[in-house]
Each structure stands twice: as C-alpha cells, then as structure tokens.
C-alpha cells in the first residue's frame, strides 16, 4: 500500500463514469427490447466488472466492450443473437447524466480545479455520453484504463491516470459511488471521495474515504473544503 494521502484540497479530480456520473438505468429498457428481463442489468454489469478485474489480475484485460459482450451472452443463457448484444451495448454511448453530476463539475469549474472522467470502459463511449448530457466541455479529458489493458483498481491504474492528468497522486482525488474504487484509489495514495447514494453507506472492509456524502456534488464540496 502507498502512504495514505493527507486530507488536503485536491489540485485535480478524477471522476468514475458509469453510475457515478452517468446512469445505467436506460439499459434496462434495451434489455427488454431484446427479450430479456430488466432485472438482469445489475447481474450483467456486476459480472462485467468482476471478469474485467479477474482478467486484470491474470495480467492482460480485454477491452471493456469485449468483456461486456461475453457477459451479456452468459447472463442471457446464450439466447441473444450478435445484433441483439450490439443493440444493448450501443446504449452505453447514449446514457443520461446523474442529477448530481452537473452541480459537481460546476463546483470544480468555479473553484478552478480541473477534472477528468476516468473509466475502464470505452473512452469514446464515455465522451459521447458526457457530450449528450452537456457535460463534456467541463472535463479536461476522458481517461480509460483500456489504454494500459487494465480495469481498476490496481494501484498502477490510478498512478497512470494521475500521470495523464499531470498531477501527483496525493494531490489528486478520485470520486466514485463504488467503495471498491475509492478503496483502490486510497491504497494507491490518492485522495478519495465516496458518494453513498448507490451503496447506502461506507462499508467497514476497506480504506475509509477522505470525504463522504450522499451526493456527488456534496462530496466535491467536501473535498474543496479541505485545507490547502
């Protein structure tokens, strides 16, 4: 584990994308359109993350889209045709923003703190989704761990993102709604902010985030209020 970053106001903020900035809920409708029950969304997405992390541990993760396509096939019991899988996956580029995303990036913009979208999915899809939501211009860049054939949360992934952003880990914050993500970032020496609206609280099994709040904009406000 890297040394834990002291609680200081970040100079750069990295945002997780899916579920943190962008809503996955509309994919439920796409699943229904190809004849699958909407409740498979959570299972499909969780399996995609699980396998992406497992491939990362093995040494070389395939692109997010390839892992997601395989998991859609598995979750459906191999009942979906290739064009149906494509229909569901195409929805990733058309997802809407979370209601607390715009207020969060506005706070950073007013404070003069640059922010980056940071995903292990497609950077192109993430950028398209942010563009559709009217948020893309607020971000200094869109970073994807696909460039280094990895998923989060190994330390090298967060260090790579900091290098791309031109910032030191201990002056860079990772904001997410996934506690496994903030745990990974904290153990890599980054500042962390966990919005609890997805998980409902802070689990006791990982590194405690530097800042917590129910909403993403509340977390950003908390990070900005830390001492310089």
pTM > 0.85: yes or no? yes
Q: Which residue has the tokens 């989704």?
A: 129
Tell me: the pLDDT tens digits for 48-98? Answer: 999 999 999 999 899 999 999 999 999 999 999 999 999 999 998 889 999
Please give the radius of gyration of the chain, using alpha carbons only, rounded to the nearest integer. Answer: 17
- DSSP secondary structure of 175-217: EES-HHHHHHHHHTT-EEEEETTTTSS--TTSPPPSEEESSHH
Tell me: the pLDDT tens digits for 162-218? Answer: 999 999 999 999 999 999 999 999 999 999 999 999 999 999 999 999 999 999 999
- Average per-residue pLDDT in the chain? 95
- Measured CA to CA, the distance from residue 41 to residue 29 in angstroms comes to 10
């Amino acid at each position: 584990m890297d040394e834990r970053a002291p609680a200081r106001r970040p100079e750069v903020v990295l945002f997780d994308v899916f579920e943190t900035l962008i809503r996955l809920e509309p994919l439920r409708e796409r699943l229904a359109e190809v004849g699958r029950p909407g409740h498979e969304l959570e299972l499909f997405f969780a399996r995609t993350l699980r396998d992406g992390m497992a491939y990362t541990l093995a040494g070389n993760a395939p692109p997010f889209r390839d892992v997601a396509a395989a998991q859609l096939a598995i979750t459906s019991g191999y009942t979906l045709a290739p064009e149906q899988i494509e229909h569901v996956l195409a929805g990733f580029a058309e997802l809407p923003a979370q209601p607390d995303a715009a207020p969060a990036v506005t706070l950073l913009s007013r404070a003069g703190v640059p922010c980056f979208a940071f995903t292990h999915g497609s950077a192109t899809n993430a950028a398209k989704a942010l563009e559709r939501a009217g948020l893309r211009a607020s971000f200094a860049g869109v970073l994807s761990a696909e460039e280094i054939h990895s998923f989060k949360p190994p330390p090298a992934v967060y260090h790579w993102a900091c290098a791309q952003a031109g910032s030191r880990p201990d002056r860079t914050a990772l904001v997410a709604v996934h506690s496994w993500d903030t745990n990974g970032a904290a153990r890599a020496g980054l500042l962390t902010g966990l919005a609890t609206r997805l998980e409902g609280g802070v689990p006791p099994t990982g590194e405690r985030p530097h800042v917590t709040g129910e909403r993403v904009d509340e977390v950003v406000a908390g990070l900005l209020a830390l001492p310089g």
